[in-house]
Amino acid sequence: MDWSKQANDMIKTWTGTQQKVWDAWLNSMQLAAAPQNPETWQKMIETWRGTVKQALESQLQLTQMWAEGVAAAAVNVPGLPGLPALPTLPGVPSTAVEWTRQVLEMTRAMTDTQVRFSENWFDLLKKADPSTLAQGWDMGQAQKIMATWQDAAQKAIDAQNEFSRMVVKVAGDTANSATKK
């Protein structure tokens, strides 16, 4: 399998994972509106926490596997040139391997941030009294906030997807021309 297909597959999976995480947030807000007994509430919180944590860990593992695949492909095509359509500026990767390494580091940083955010969120929910929680929240406003977060996340995902497609295409074209020589 060529690395550009792996990259596309990874991007699709990552995008799907992000959507699942945001859907879980929205779902947690909606379920919080329904009165729960404390034991059921605690079990729900732990289930959500586990699901979100697993999704976040999966996106990092997929990115790691993809990065390793790109590095292996670069070894098999030793004359793989830089990415010609990208500017040569300080800090901008010039090879597919460098770009992949930066994507992996960004994914790690973003995953760490999402894990911290989700842990704080679930800690807050776990301490909440489910019988009074629904009474104290304006669920219409909470859903608007979640919808705004979801919209912002979708825009970020779409922008990253578009950028990734562009880089994957350029890198794939470069790799194909290098193997034809």
91: left (phi over 0), alpha (psi -120 to 50) or beta: left
pTM given for the model = 0.58
- Total length of the chain: 181
Structural domains in the chain (count): 1
Q: Is residue 63 part of a domain?
A: yes
Tell me the HSE value of 127 on the side-chain side, using a 13 A CA sphere.
5
User: Looking at the domain assignment, is residue 81 inside a domain?
Assistant: no
pLDDT digit string, tens, across residues 19-68: 776 676 666 666 655 656 788 888 888 888 888 888 888 888 888 887 78
Classify residue 60: in a domain, yes or no. yes
Query: Cα–Cα distance between 60 and 110 in angstroms, integer?
Result: 9
Its domain, for residue 60, covers: 3-28+35-75+87-175
pLDDT digit string (tens) for 117-176?
888 888 888 887 776 765 666 667 666 766 676 676 667 666 666 666 666 666 566 556
Q: Is residue 82 part of a domain?
A: no
- 80 within a domain of the structure (yes/no): no
